[in-house]
Chains A and B, each alone.
Chain A
Amino acid sequence: MIITVTKPIEEIMTNLEGYKKVFVVGCAACATKCQTGGEEAVNNMIKELKKKNKTVTGSVILDTPCDIRIAKRDLAKSREANESDVILVLACGAGVQAAEKVIEKPVLPALNPLFVGTTERIGVYNEFCSVCGECILDKTAGICPVSRCPKGLINGPCGGVVDGKCETDLTKDCVWVLILNKLKKLGKEQEIFKDYFSPKKRAKPKVVNRAGERR
């Protein structure tokens, strides 16, 4: 999922300067999981806004605010939203932009999206996917060097492996050591480095169809 953190409230209030009536949009998907855009987060935000003398016209938690069809159905048609000066969105950038697309109001983000990752527990999120468009997990024992090696080295590690840890942070495992260990467990260690990975295609089309082709 998309891991998000809440922007500092001071930054949000600065962005809201000049607006009186605020409509708040939450996210029932990723941001709820991160506790940055679910019911509790939306209620906390409303309290903060009221403390700063803003008028909260209403709120909605969209199932998936990044789905333009849902934003159209549940936000664009909301009377309260349309009577507001501004829409404050507690979702990732895709959620904010879906809102922008469906409503003729200024739209502001309340979160900073960080990465696509996993939740270990609340407050511990790992960047485990770079959405690179060319998944190689089939060749790396299900462990991603693109996202988990700080240099994104896909042909193998650098020389900065210190007792299995990464030199950029000696508390973190080198992803290539994890890959080697997993392959050993699976009895497939001879497969490591077998393939030469050619340079990745870094450019992806900005709008795609179901086959991932440019539209």
Chain B
Amino acid sequence: MNKLCKAIVDNRFIITAELYPPKGTDIAELMRRADIIGPLVDGVNITDNQRASMRLASIAICHLIKDKGYTPILQMTCRDRNRIALQSDLLSAYVLGIENVLILSGDHPAVGEYKEIKGVYDLDPVQLLTTARTLESGFDLSGKKLKGTPKFCLGAVVNPTSNPLELQLLMMEKKVKAGAQFFQTQTIFDVERYRQFHDQVKHLNVKVLAGVTLLKSREFIGFLKNLPGVSIPEDVVKRVEAAKDPLKEGIKICGETIRELKKFADGVHIMAIGAEDLIPEILKNA
């Protein structure tokens, strides 16, 4: 059983962190960062052509991370592959020792580098979760028998800051029914608001990892505020803006957020967005 699965079974506070593959073949920096966070977390989550931009494949990096002894989480979006390719990649992931798969629809091409392409979306996330479970049963979507069957630990995403929240809650329920065992959320800064969400989804009996992001600078806050669906409480913004060393303050805030979450949440998913080197310090503060 891999570290993430074990953390889920053992019912302990889960910590995962995200890394994104490079555009190009130079993976030195990425692997250096993997070495920093790999030993500290329960899973290293590798993005799949995030923000609809072309990058090195998640599955390749997951394989390299696994080879180093860390626990990868393969992100798999529905945007770029039809059901043949998705199933084929799921089987491939399994034989490479990658069992943790996070399934999401994927940022729409309209927000990325290739605005004029056709998004595939042959399957939606609920159908892809169902598909992964179908493969586990020894058959593929065409009903053909598999020679050797995979086993996955499946995750999905939910956005607790989305309005109307009602839709997200219903969707989450549908994803649980389809086979999701853990969830990763959009970045949250308001722990109290997250607590309410946590209570609302408790009955689903799945692990929900609260997304946390390091506020690196004043400029970064401006960038985040412009992202759809991200809300940062005013007192948090003021703390960073008033600080002599905004980065130091950001690390402190991030650590405090995790510390607060540890009191009731199932875990956190850290999105350091280029500042992965600081994750050890954040965790020390937590």
Question: Can you list, as one digit per residue, whether each of A184-210 has a CB less than 8 Å from chain B (1) or not (0)?
Answer: 000000001100111100100000000
Question: Can you list, as one digit per residue, whether each of B155-166 has a CB less than 8 Å from chain A (1) or not (0)?
Answer: 001110011101
B126 an interface residue at 8 Å Cβ cutoff? yes
Q: Which of B78, B111, B162, B186 has the most CB of A within 10 A?
A: B162
A151 an interface residue at 8 Å Cβ cutoff? yes
Q: Are A155 and B127 in contact (CB under 8 A)?
A: yes
A170 an interface residue at 8 Å Cβ cutoff? yes
Q: Which residues of B contact A154 (CB under 8 A)?
A: 124
Q: A155-B174, A156-B126, A167-B229 are in contact. Are A162 and B163 (CB under 8 A)?
A: yes
Q: Are B170 and A192 in contact (CB under 8 A)?
A: yes
Q: Which of B83, B108, B167, B174 has the most CB of A within 10 A?
A: B167
A6 to B10 Cα, complex, angstroms: 64
Q: Which of A149-196 contact B (CB under 8 A)?
A: 150-164, 167-170, 176-177, 180, 192-193, 196
Q: Are B110 and A150 in contact (CB under 8 A)?
A: yes
A196 to B111 Cα, complex, angstroms: 28
Q: Which of B165-181 contact A (CB under 8 A)?
A: 166-168, 170-171, 173-174, 177-178
B148 an interface residue at 8 Å Cβ cutoff? no
Please report the total number of A residues contacting B with Cβ < 8 Å: 29
A156 to B164 Cα, complex, angstroms: 13
Q: How far is the CB of A175 from chain B (nearest CB, A)?
A: 11
B123 an interface residue at 8 Å Cβ cutoff? yes
Q: How far is the CB of A128 from chain B (nearest CB, A)?
A: 18
Interface range, B side: 35 or more
Q: Are A177 and B164 in contact (CB under 8 A)?
A: yes
Q: A167-B111, A192-B170, A196-B130 are in contact. Are A159 and B121 (CB under 8 A)?
A: no
| Set A163, A168, A193, A202: member contacting B170, Cβ < 8 A | A193
Q: A159-B158, A159-B162, A196-B174 are in contact. Are A168 and B123 (CB under 8 A)?
A: no
A156 to B108 Cα, complex, angstroms: 15
Which residues of B pack against A, CB within 8 Å? Answer: 78-79, 83, 104-105, 107-108, 110-111, 119, 121-127, 130-131, 141, 157-159, 162-164, 166-168, 170-171, 173-174, 177-178, 186, 228-229
The 4 closest A-B pairs by CB, nearest first: A159-B159, A155-B126, A168-B110, A156-B171
Given contacts A154-B124, A156-B126, 16 further A-B contacts (CB under 8 A): A151-B121, A151-B124, A153-B121, A155-B125, A155-B174, A156-B167, A158-B125, A159-B159, A159-B162, A160-B107, A160-B162, A161-B168, A167-B111, A176-B167, A196-B130, A197-B127
